[in-house]
Amino acid sequence: MNTQLVRNWMTPDLITITPQTRLPNVRQLMLEHHLHHRPVVNKDKLVGVVTWHDIHRAEAWDGVDFGG
């Protein structure tokens, strides 16, 4: 197995969101920055991750198009 370190591949300048961020805003952020995952932080603590798949599931569940 390759012995490279995570720090050589990670994204150091994260764009994070909060639990209160609205899904249409997350979708737009992902589109603008070509992202597929966003860490969700609350008071500097990681509390979850939202994925592109989550956004599409929410659109299907609500029956709402978030702008796509």
Tokens of 39: 């860490």
For residue range 17-37, what is the model confidence (pLDDT) as tens digits? 999 999 999 999 999 999 999
Confidence at residue 45, expressed as pLDDT on a 0 to 100 scale: 97
Element (H, E) at 22: none
Written as six digits, the tokens of 63 are: 């029956």
Query: What pLDDT score does 48 carry?
Result: 98
For residue 1, pLDDT beyond 90? no
The DSSP element (H or E) to which 60 belongs, if any, is helix 52-62
CATH class of 14-62: alpha beta
pLDDT of residue 67: 65
Q: How confident is the model at residue 59 (pLDDT cuts 50, 70, 90)?
A: confident
Dist CA 61 CA 63 (whole Å):
6
User: Would you place residue 65 in the very low, low, confident or very high pLDDT band (cuts 50, 70, 90)?
Assistant: low
